[in-house]
Amino acid sequence: MVMILGTVGTVATAALLARSSNLSNNIETSITIGQQNLSVAETAKVNLQALLIEHNQLLEYNLDDWGKYLQSPNSSEKSREFNHNLRLCEKEGNWKKTKQHILDLAEHNTIDVPMGKFSLLDFQQVGKNQILATIKTQNAQENQAQYEINISFSDNYLSKPVPVLWLTGKEQIGGIENVQVNGNVWANNCSFPVEKVNFMEVDAHQAKYTGIKMPDLPDLEGIKERLPEHHYFPSIAEEEATQTQEDNISLKLPRLEDKPTKKEGEKNVYEYLINNMEKIDSLIINSDFQSESMIILYVLGDINISEIVHKCESSNPCSPENLIIIAYEEAKMCLGFDNLGAFIIAPHYELGLKTNNPNQEYAKFTGSIWTDKLLTTGDCGNDKVEFHEALKWANLPDEFQTLSPIPKLIQVNLKESIKPDA
């Protein structure tokens, strides 16, 4: 009897152990499946995140539009803009891969990744700056699951640095590899050699092509209407004088008799129009004139300033954004200095910089320059220049803060599985 009971007990124990072992195996298998699908989902998240960071204008369109505009690139102005910004400066082979990748996502096709594959099921805007994406994963054993990816983004690029150089021109022949750059560089035209930019700190900054358009320049006619006559250079009296004598032209601004023409926050703003003054021997700007001030120079035609100085006379900060040079038309600007802080917007100009100090090898520029082409050889400018980034978008006047398409700051988070692993 004992023997029978012992046998029954042994059988029961064996059965329990077997059930326990099977349960353990099932749990282990379930965990393994879950881990595999989670790994696939994490890879899919990184895949999607990389695409959206590089092409964040996709956030402005519905998923259906991705496919529609890619399949019919010339069907509308919106379609042409979509394709232009996506393809910007990509070589043909790379563009074909990018285009196919976006089409696969838009058409819910499966995309191979390490340990499995995934497809994008949905991409819906659920808030002003939030998108919820749904992906389906499949691991190597063909077990499936669904996950949600929360994509939040911000238009708050205003806290970010303004590129030290923003070049719109079609040509940049030589020289850019010799100037010293301590800041980011943007180029609108694909012929600009971004790979040749010589960074002072290689890992800290980058040169890249951008589809972002420069903001429009302020309305010049409106500016002329509000400027007093003695804020024009040359004035009528000066024009008559320059016809009879060839004296050196030296300017110090603001002058005691000058009055602010507007306000920018707490700062007094002094504006001046320089019209076709091809040669200025010396221009001294004091942005600490009767408290911290902003000086804006509106320039027409060619201009060559042998020595330009931006100085401050007290302990107030002498900030680069307090000297702004805005140049209209297509012309040439040549500036000589040893150390200049400024914000220069000359989108149709050829701009040359050089040191005017024989004891200083490099001219040091701090701030931001937006221009068509940088002249690095010849009489106007050379490549012995250091460029230092210093401005934030929020520090610029309002009219220069609006960019299109708007750059996005992106965060992508993977949520828990919304559908059990199968």
Q: How far apart are CA 92 and CA 100, in angstroms?
A: 12
DSSP characters for 305-316? EEEEEEE-SSSS
Residues 294/324, Cβ–Cβ less than 8 Å? yes
Q: Specify the pLDDT at position 419.
A: 73
Helix (H) or strand (E) holding 49: helix 2-54
pLDDT of the chain, 422 residues: tens digit per residue: 333 333 333 444 344 334 434 433 443 444 476 788 889 999 999 999 999 988 888 988 989 999 999 999 999 999 998 998 889 888 899 999 999 999 999 999 999 998 899 999 999 988 888 999 999 999 888 889 999 999 998 877 888 899 999 999 867 666 688 899 999 999 998 888 888 999 998 888 999 999 888 999 999 999 999 999 999 998 644 444 444 445 678 899 999 999 999 998 888 999 999 998 889 999 999 998 888 899 999 999 999 999 999 988 765 557 999 999 999 999 999 999 999 999 999 999 999 999 988 889 999 999 999 999 999 988 999 999 999 999 999 989 999 998 887 777 788 888 877 776 65
Contact 118, 41 (CB under 8 A): yes
SS3 content of the chain, % helix, strand, coil (to 5): 30, 35, 35
Q: Which amino acid is at 44?
A: A
For the four alpha carbons of 276, 258, 221 and 237, in that order, the dihedral sign comes to negative
Residue type, 276: N
Q: Which phi and psi (to 5°) does residue 146 adopt?
A: -125, 145
Q: Which strand (E) or helix (H) includes residue 13?
A: helix 2-54
CA–CA gap between residue 206 and residue 219 (Å, rounded): 33
